[in-house]
Chain A
Amino acid sequence: MTSQPGGYYLPSPSAWPVTGSVALFLMALGGVLIMHDAGGGTALLIVGAAILIYMMFGWFGTVIRESESGKYNKQVDVSFRWGMSWFIFSEVMFFAAFFGALFYMRVLSVPWLSEADTGALLWPGFSADWPASGPAITDQFTPMAAWGIPALNTAILLTSGVTITIAHWALKNNQRSKLNWFMFLTIALGLTFLGFQIYEYGHAYADLNLTLESGAYGATFFMLTGFHGFHVTVGTIMLIVIWLRCLKGHFTAEHHFGFEGVAWYWHFVDVVWLGLFVFVYWL
């Protein structure tokens, strides 16, 4: 399908979406089989993931080619902006579920276990001081200290928010080499963050005896940091794609929503981290 100047671009029929559905179906099935130690799960999961990656290359590649050939007018651009904003809002609500669980446990369910009859009759001797694991978990653990690597990671992510903004300004002023360098810097910061995070997990399991099984603290710690880490991983991959596109000369000073969308996402990941740092590590 074509689009005339000023027209709204309507894409031709596409097989990419259904490819993605097949991939997710195989991955779900594979995941279930793995969790029940049934045969074939790993193979299904790998095939599904491979198809998903193939789909992303194909689908995003198509969108990039359409964008670079100038098929997207102002109105399509606004659609992308709305779409990305609401997608990020949905992600905020996803994190809200896990933050909700954290607050509920810290403020309500853990203290209840040591209060009044529940504490006296069921769990005598259980102290609800956070970080707590829960009354029936006897394994001791050491909570993660806030002012070591986590504080460093906070500085890293905040800095990456600055570097991507500098890159954005460079793009707007047509300073392409500055753009490329600051994008590279942003990615490097993202990867450093992830490296520290992986190290921290190793440290937690090896030295602190802090695991997924460490009750309320362990569950919320790993769920929140893990889900965030997953988002940083996705964000970093997005940054790499955008960087490669910058190197290929994509984007113009006026027309670069692909870049901006990723920058929005990166800032979102950054803000969530601040919440994490304050409520998971610090307080």
Chain B
Amino acid sequence: MEAVHEHDHSHDHPSGIMRWVKTTNHKDIGTMYLWFSFAMFMVGGVMALILRAELFQPGLQVVEPEFFNQMTTLHGLIMVFGAIMPAFVGFANWQIPMMIGAPDMAFPRLNNWSFWLLPPAATLLVLSMFVPGGAAGVGWTMYAPLTVQQGMGMDLLIFAVHILGMSSILGSINIITTILNMRAPGMTMMKMPLFVWTWLITAYLLVAAMPVLAGAVTMTLTDRHFGTNFFNAAGGGDPVLFQHIFWFFGHPEVYIIAIPAFGVVSQVIPAFSRKPLFGYASMVYATASIAILSFLVWAHHMYTVGMPVEAQLYYMFATMLIAVPTGVKVFNWVATMWRGSLTFETPMLFALGFLFLFTIGGFTGLVLSLTPVDVQLHDTYYVVAHFHYVMVAGALFSAFAGVYFWLPKWIGKMYDETLGKWHFWLSIIFFNVTFFVQHFLGLAGMPRRIPDYSLQFTDFNMISSIGAFGFGLSQLLFLYILIKAIRSGEKAPEKPWEGADTLEWTHLPTPAPYHSFETPPTVK
């Protein structure tokens, strides 16, 4: 690669709002992704609190059951597609060009479009609450035949999913191309920081999985309005067909969320252990194995749907196989810390929180992979607890770790370390108060997605609701920490983290300049 990006400083730079609307700069776009994600995190969070308020006591107190269903649906969709995924795309935008020594992303205008497709999609989702019949109350999994029977809100949801999918596919194509084609001289594939590797693999998953989801909701749309019978047995179709297609997307989606989180943690733990990542190559191969396996295990979400026993056996064993590469990763993170010179600043705390809680989520996943056990636990709060350990304590905590870790590089100012630690401890305590007890609820048989419950579940539900409000309020502290750092944070040193050794720390000033590498660094 002979790339030398040169630019003159007199070119047009729109100011004010138009800077953000028209920008082709990876840092501006990354910033928009991150703030958008935070806004959606708040919206989805309020929806979760409505659910928890209703579930504080048995009976129906706060909302109508239909509205409860709508909140369940929108909470899931907004958190997955609006909060977690954009957060990691935001990291990808900020970090990948800096970490591989590139001037920007490969397709800067397309990058802008990937972001600006998100607000219209989110608007469609929010708008669906205000149309006749309200939003779709079908759950984020959008199972037929319920989806065929919904009102206008469902169609808005379908088009929102189409546009979100477009955004993800275009963004992923951009990320793959950037990583494959924009690396600095000497930055061979096996020298790339693990965060870059994890995003390469995630982007591949997205390109392969999102179109399948688009196909699934397209068939839902034609079943609804154009007389097809894809998901109707009377016409030769099958509602279970939807589940198969959905989960062919849905299971890779789990790793689309988790793998970039692995990447962030794989940067943070070595930095605060002051040691290189243990087993770099095995990390790469483990991540790739997880990605491949993720396309082969989808029906473990469907054990109770009525599958042949041979199929159940296959999906059970294939699912358990994923524990092997995941175990390799957890082992490597722990081995990285072994005899390291550890310090526990906020990013490291969140990374460790991730490590503990994600591992618990992984183990409960292993429990659920057992068909006979899953038949008992299917659609109970055990499942809810399981995937919130993976999504919240896994993905979200690692996103927090990433924000605290890279914020000094992004804005040139430090966050308040004491408040950051408070944020961590409040989050991890309230998270466990909220979700740990849900394991017990699920084991005792409390079904998910129901606004009411039997009396014997009351105590744990009250604890869970208290935890949820505590967790939600703790996130306002995060907002305050961010604003405080941006407004009046102390000036960050050139290299605030002693053990950080990727290009953005070693080759770029703090804060990072608007255009990352105008001349590519040479990586030895």
Residues of A within 8 A of B (CB): 1-4, 6-8, 10-18, 20-22, 24-25, 28-29, 31-32, 35-36, 38, 59, 75, 78-79, 82-83, 86-87, 89-91, 93-94, 96-98, 100-101, 104-105, 108-110, 112-113, 132-137, 211-213, 215-220, 222-223
Chain B residues in 8 Å Cβ range of A7 = 3-6
Contact A219 B13 (CB under 8 A): no
Interface SS of chain B:
helix
Asked if B503 is an interface residue, CB under 8 A from chain A, the answer is no
Interface class of chain A by DSSP: helix
Most buried by A among B210, B226, B229: B229
When each residue 461-496 of chain B gets 1 if its CB lies under 8 Å from chain A and 0 otherwise, what string results? 000000000000000000000000000000000000
Nearest A residue to B8 via CB reads A2
* Bound form: Cα–Cα A83–B13 in Å: 27
**Interface set of B (CB-CB < 8 Å, partner A):** 1-8, 11-14, 18-19, 21-24, 102-104, 106-110, 112-113, 116-117, 119-120, 123-124, 152, 155-156, 159-160, 162-163, 166, 169, 172-174, 176-177, 180-182, 207-212, 214-216, 218-219, 222, 224-230, 232-238, 240-241, 244-245, 248, 515
Task: Look across to chain B and name the residue whose beta carbon is closest to the beta carbon of A94.
Answer: B211
Asked if A219 and B222 sit within 8 Å, CB to CB, the answer is: yes
Taking the closest CB of chain A, its distance from the CB of B177, in whole angstroms, is 4
Closest approach, in angstroms, between the C-beta of A234 and any C-beta of chain B? 15
Residue of A with least CB distance to B206:
A90
Alpha-carbon gap, A202 to B161, bound state (A):
32
Summed over the interface, the residue pairs from A and B with CB atoms below 8 Å come to a total of 243
Is there an interface contact between A28 and B6, defined as CB atoms closer than 8 Å?
A: no
B120 & A223 in contact (Cβ 8 Å cutoff): no
In the complex, A24→B159 CA distance in Å? 9
Are A11's CB and B5's CB within 8 A?
no
Give A90 to B238 CA distance when docked, in angstroms: 25
Question: Chain A nearest CB: distance from B20 CB in Å?
Answer: 10
Known contacts A89-B208, A97-B214: does B236 contact A132 (CB below 8 Å)?
yes
Q: Which residues of A contact B117 (CB under 8 A)?
A: 21, 24
A82 touches B229 (CB 8 A): no
How close is A165's CB to chain B, nearest CB, in angstroms?
26
- By a CB distance below 8 angstroms, the chain A residues around B515 are 10
Check A219 against B230 for contact (C-beta < 8 Å): yes
The residue on A at minimum CB distance from B226 is A212
Task: Check B109–A21 contact: CB distance below 8 A.
Answer: no
Cβ contacts under 8 Å, B233 to chain A? 109, 113, 134-135
Contact indicator B236/A83 (Cβ below 8 Å) = no
Given A8-B3, A36-B155, A90-B208, 11 other A-B contacts at CB below 8 A?
A13-B12, A13-B24, A14-B22, A17-B112, A21-B117, A32-B159, A90-B173, A93-B208, A133-B235, A134-B237, A135-B233
